[in-house]
């Protein structure tokens, strides 16, 4: 099924187990409520993977660093947000790139050791003056060229550890003046302004030649589609994301639970898939709502199958282990110099 679901707690309930076995979702996403310690997380991941013997689902998490990291001390490293790497880039581009790659590889190693194979990072949004701070220091910079330069390095670090990155929030959340978790942002910038800033990092993506997924923005771009946020807009997805920006990988919605979207969950899921998303994301672990999402979802399409193949290929790549202690020290020292 073309859905990725959250779950309620540290272990699967009987009802969740039965539901997931029946609907066979593309994957699962973990949050802080699902995390206690490394042994528990690894056991939960193993349990999720064993639900359907002939299918290896994706296991996702948001581990960006800074404000957004589900795995936290003392069991895991406190990784920095992305903005400090942008500041270091202004002083020393080579050091910024090498330090960022090391940081993301350390994150990737922690995830891979638990069996988590997809990280919803990096943020490729470009904040502008007056925008809501929901993006803030999660972004590399307010210079789109800096974001375009550093984002592929972050992806490379994750991939080197055997983890697939998810670039977000395509085609750009940095200009939004509202938090899409709470309400629907409307961006009134014209297309030339969007092309000069918001779209720049995403337009560079096809040139990287890197395997990655992408997550949509729950944002209305009035210059493109006044009626619908990107997640639900066939125009934004077909003409901008797939067309102008050239993204041809797995496209997933941002969380259907966010208040930027409205209507029954069956309709939310169907609208995103009909608009051109390959999979929908439902995060809060509410089983009744997940049942409704499942009704609105169809089977996994060709992009979903390609996604699973991409994950398998990345898992199979040779991985160079980095010392957690010396690596973390190197990252901290480089950012301190910045």
Which pLDDT score, from 0 to 100, does residue 318 have? Answer: 65
Residue 254 bears catalytic tag:
yes
Residue 259 makes CB contacts below 8 A (sequence gap 6+) with 180, 181, 182, 183, 184
User: Which of these is catalytic: 125, 137, 254, 278?
Assistant: 254
CATH at 40: 3.20.20.300
pLDDT at residue 299, rounded to an integer? 82
Tell me the helices (H) and strands (E) count for the chain, helix number first. 12, 12
pLDDT in tens, 296-313: 998 887 777 777 777 887
For 111-157, how does the pLDDT look when each residue is reduced to its tens digit (9 = 90+)?
999 999 999 999 999 999 999 999 999 999 999 999 999 999 999 99
Catalytic residue among 181, 188, 190, 248: 181
Residue 4 CA to residue 290 CA, distance in Å, equals 10
Nearest 5°: CA angle at 213, between 249 and 49?
115
Mean of pLDDT values over 64-79: 97
Taking the whole predicted model, whether its pTM rises above 0.85 is answered as yes
- Assess whether 132 carries a catalytic annotation: no
> What is the per-residue DSSP string for 48-80?
HHTSSTT---EEEE-EEETTEESS-TTTS----
Domain carrying residue 281: 3-337
pLDDT of 269 over the 70 cut: yes
Q: How many domains does the chain have?
A: 1
The percent of residues in the chain predicted with pLDDT above 90, rounded, is: 84
Q: If you average pLDDT over every residue of the chain, what do you get? A: 94
Q: How far apart are CA 188 and CA 219, in angstroms?
A: 10
């Amino acid at each position: 099924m073309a859905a990725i679901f959250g779950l309620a707690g540290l272990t699967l309930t009987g009802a969740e187990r039965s539901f997931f076995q029946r609907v066979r979702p593309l994957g699962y996403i973990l949050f802080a409520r699902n995390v206690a310690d490394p042994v528990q997380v690894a056991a939960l991941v193993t349990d999720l993977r064993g639900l359907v013997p002939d299918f290896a689902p994706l296991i996702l998490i948001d581990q960006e660093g800074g404000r957004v990291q589900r795995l936290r001390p003392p069991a895991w490293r406190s990784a920095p947000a992305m903005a400090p790497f942008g500041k270091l880039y202004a002083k020393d581009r080579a050091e910024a790139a090498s330090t960022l790659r090391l940081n993301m590889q350390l994150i990737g190693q922690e995830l891979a050791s638990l069996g988590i194979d997809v990280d919803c990072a990096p943020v490729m949004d470009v904040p502008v003056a007056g925008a809501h701070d929901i993006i803030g220091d999660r972004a590399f910079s307010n210079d789109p060229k800096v974001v375009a330069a550093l984002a592929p390095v972050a992806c490379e670090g994750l991939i080197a550890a055997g983890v697939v990155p998810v670039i977000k929030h395509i085609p750009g959340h940095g200009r939004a003046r509202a938090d899409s978790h709470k309400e629907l942002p409307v961006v009134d910038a014209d297309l030339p302004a969007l092309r000069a800033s918001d779209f720049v990092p995403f337009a560079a993506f096809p040139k990287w030649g890197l395997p990655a997924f992408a997550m949509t923005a729950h944002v209305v771009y009035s210059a493109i589609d006044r009626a619908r946020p990107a997640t639900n807009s066939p125009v934004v997805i077909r003409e901008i994301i797939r067309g102008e920006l050239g993204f041809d990988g797995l496209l997933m919605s941002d969380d259907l639970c966010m208040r930027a979207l409205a209507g029954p969950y069956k309709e939310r899921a169907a609208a995103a898939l009909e608009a051109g998303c390959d999979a929908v994301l439902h995060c809060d672990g509410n089983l009744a709502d997940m049942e409704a999402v499942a009704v609105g979802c169809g089977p996994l399409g060709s992009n979903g199958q390609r996604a699973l193949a991409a994950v398998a290929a990345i898992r199979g790549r040779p991985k160079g282990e980095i010392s957690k202690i010396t690596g973390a020290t190197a990252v901290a020292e480089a950012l301190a110099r910045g």
